[in-house]
Amino acid sequence: MAVAAAAGAGGELRLLGTWSSPWVIRVRVALGLKGLSYEYLEEDLASKSDLLLRSNPVHGKVPVLLHGGRPVCESLVILEYADEAWPGVGPPLLPSDPYDRATARFWAAYVNDTFLPAFRALFRSLTEEQRAAAFENAVPKVEALDRALAECSKGKPFFGGDAVGLVDVALGSHLVWIRAVNEVAGTNLLDGARFPGLAAWAERFLAVDAVREVVPDAGKVLEQYKGFRAKWIAAAGSTSKST
């Protein structure tokens, strides 16, 4: 759409990422929403490129956005940068009112600092016990997000209101992984019966063009997740002395 806006304002865009990383998906969604074109470089995290190590020497992690050769690291930092470096290009991820901005930042931080660690425990759980405990711990965080959706959206489709915003991208980019974990664990973390608002929001988010274009295939994500679990189980098995 916004072909003319392709990487204006200071140079070319390159994105270092991995195909299934939800943090990379966040950035790809944001750039897609803004109609910004970029060169995407797939990293092999087992053998990181010099470019990645030079661009993110502190963490060596993806995503890294390179704008005119200058690196921006950390997905939420990149999202705010995208809003600020290309003002007026596509709908803003953050609202203009300072109080609403603070609310959006609060819930984006909640996703990162509170929801995702709880989700990660479920993601990493190997035994029934671990799974049950992790699920129980994660549910209140989903409840909080369900309430947040009602508060932030005020009856509109997204946390950001009429258009996808920061919180939508921060949380929505993890949906494909939440679904993969739900399938393997037999859990239902975004239970449509319990959280109809959030479940409906999830469908809407995944139907957005800029999202559909970059979210990886659910089957491939599931396969990758099963591969990880097989490794973890094997590692746990080889270090445990009893069954």
Partner 1 sequence: MASSGEEQAAAVRVIGGWASHYAIRAYVALRLKGVEYESLQEVVGNKSELLLRSNPVHKKIPVLLHRGKPVAESMIILQYIDEVWASDGAPAILPADPYARAVERFWAQYVDDKIAPASVVLRGVTNGDKDEAAAQVSTALQHLEAAFGKCSQGRSYFGGDDIGFLDIILGSYLGWLKAVEMIAGVKILDGSKLPELTAWAERFCAHHAVRDVMPETDRLVQFNTYLIGVLKAKASGNNK
Binding residues for partner 1, rule: CB under 8 A, are 58, 67, 70, 72-74, 77-78, 80-81, 84-85, 98-99, 101-102, 105-106, 109-110, 144
Residues 160, 150: Cα–Cα separation, whole Å:
11
Toward partner 1, which CB reaches closer, 31 or 85? 85
Question: Of 217, 222, 191, 221, which Cα lies nearest the Cα of 206?
Answer: 217
Rounded Cα–Cα distance for residues 118 and 114 (Å):
7
Q: How far is the CB of 183 from partner 1 (least distance, A)?
A: 29
Whole-angstrom distance, CA of residue 224 vs CA of residue 187: 18
Of 65 and 211, which CB lies nearer to partner 1 in the complex structure? 65
> Least distance (Å) from partner 1 to the CB of residue 226?
30
Q: Identify which of residues 111 and 185 has a Cβ nearer to partner 1 in the complex.
A: 111
Q: For the CB of residue 233, give the shortest distance to partner 1 in the complex, in Å.
A: 28
In the bound state with partner 1, the residue whose beta carbon lies nearer, of 148 and 164, is 148
Q: Give the pairing of strands 70-73 and 39-42.
A: unpaired
Q: Cβ 235 to partner 1, closest distance in Å?
A: 23
In the chain the first and final C-alpha atoms are separated, in Å, by: 58
Nearer to partner 1, 74 or 125 (CB): 74
Smallest distance, partner 1 to C-beta of residue 225, A: 26
How far apart, in whole angstroms, are the C-alpha atoms of residue 111 and residue 170? 7
Q: In angstroms, what is the minimal distance from the CB of 83 to partner 1?
A: 9
Burial call 30-67: b when 16+ CB within 10 Å, e when fewer: bbbbbbbebebeebeeeeeeeebeebbeeeebbbbbbb
Please state at what angle helix 22-33 crosses helix 175-185, rounded to 10 degrees.
140
Residue whose CB is less far from partner 1, 143 or 223: 143
For residue 229, the SS3 value is: helix
